[in-house]
Structure 1
């Protein structure tokens, strides 16, 4: 081999070795780039909210059938769900409507109107005034009193007394001093504004009377 060919061969070998030396540092860099994770090509994913795993559908187990909706019973009204954001009203304490329980018997009874007592006598008053003559036909003394007008007085047996100018309405009470019962009989007179009352002995306690009231219309009631 001549010197010229040897020189060319040496230059070619030097170029090849130089290229290998230059390419060796680039090989690890290329391997590192391949092993590094790739950057997300869609940068908008970082602006989206994180995914909630609790909202993800749960896969159904094999062999389990989904539940069928129960049809509503005839005549039964299905409850209406409240609107979103509307809270149901809270019960107010003490605001409860009491309803009678089935089979409960009401204790409320309508008021019974008592029939009005029939007057024992009726007289014609003279300008609202009346004279009352008491006749004691018993053997015992009788104590009498005009309520709000006179003090208690005693009427001896087999005697009489007249109470004049009593203004109606007026009440007169009487009782036997020996504790016996009296049968009282009022009777109108032919003279206007006059009433005669007779006392007799009573053998039955149910027959006994102890008070007399004269109303403005002339009705006389015994008690």
Structure 2
């Protein structure tokens, strides 16, 4: 055999040895990669055999860099008001604005007073068992229509005549009107008899003197309207 044939044979044997080694090592490469990519499921198997945490142990003190918890505001949605900064100025009044500021008592100074002084009684009588007798004296020439509210229907009292209404339970209201649409001057006066009231009708000289109703309270006070 010549020298060239021997060299070719040696090269072929070397190439076959290299290819055979590669074929043997290829199956081991995926296995090694799988071992490197798969994490240890339990790197510390002893933790399952350790005793549970004892709550009586001293808690770990947070380091100086730990931030304390923020306080929770009292009440849901209730936060402390933020005071205005030094640059915030109160609103200036607008010239010509007639809006009145409320007074310290909660009532505006320009509102009328709601509670008026109580009217002074025109007369006072002593009731008998809570009842009163009323004598109506018509000193005018015109007929007067009167009615005890809740007790009687409207009735007519002729001029220069009188009528007595007995046993009316207080409080009681009596209305009256001249049939000729004139004004009535009404004068109530306590009678000498206990529990009795005399009421005189006269012609009024002006509308300001005219009256059309009388009310007797439980305490015997008589008011005209």
Sort the TM-score into its range (normalised by shorter chain): 0.5 to 0.7
- Considering only aligned residues, what root-mean-square deviation do their CA atoms show, in Å? 4.0
Aligned to 1:221, which of 210, 214, 223? 223
The number of equivalent residue pairs is 158
Counterpart of 2:184 in structure 1 is 182
1:145-169 CA-to-partner distances (Å, cap 9, x unmatched) read 1222222221122222222222222
Counterpart of 1:173 in structure 2 is 175
Any idea what SS the aligned residue of 2:151 has? Answer: coil
Q: Does 1:25 align with 2:12?
A: yes
Distance (Å, rounded) in 1 between the aligned partners of 2:19 and 2:152: 139
1:33-79 CA-to-partner distances (Å, cap 9, x unmatched) read 89xx995865444336xxxxxxxxxxxxxxxxxxxxxxxxxxxxxxx
Distance (Å, rounded) in 2 between the aligned partners of 1:105 and 1:16: 128
Distance (Å, rounded) in 2 between the aligned partners of 1:115 and 1:22: 140
Structure index of larger Rg = 1
- State the Cα distance separating 1:109 from its structure 2 match: 6.1
More displaced stretch, 135-144 vs 171-180: 135-144
Any idea what SS the aligned residue of 2:7 has? Answer: helix
Distance (Å, rounded) in 2 between the aligned partners of 1:42 and 1:207: 120
CA gap 1:46/1:140 in 2 versus in 1, 3 angstroms: same
Any idea what SS the aligned residue of 1:124 has? Answer: coil
Counterpart of 1:155 in structure 2 is 157
Counterpart of 2:139 in structure 1 is 137
Any idea what SS the aligned residue of 2:202 has? Answer: strand
- State the Cα distance separating 1:27 from its structure 2 match: 4.7
1:186-206 CA-to-partner distances (Å, cap 9, x unmatched) read 111232101111112123223
Distance (Å, rounded) in 1 between the aligned partners of 2:210 and 2:201: 10
Counterpart of 2:207 in structure 1 is 205
Q: TM-score by structure 2 length?
A: 0.56
Task: Give unmatched runs, 5+ long, in structure 1.
Answer: 1-13, 49-79, 81-101
Aligned to 1:46, which of 37, 41, 59? 37
1:75-123 CA-to-partner distances (Å, cap 9, x unmatched) read xxxxx8xxxxxxxxxxxxxxxxxxxxx9899999699334433322110
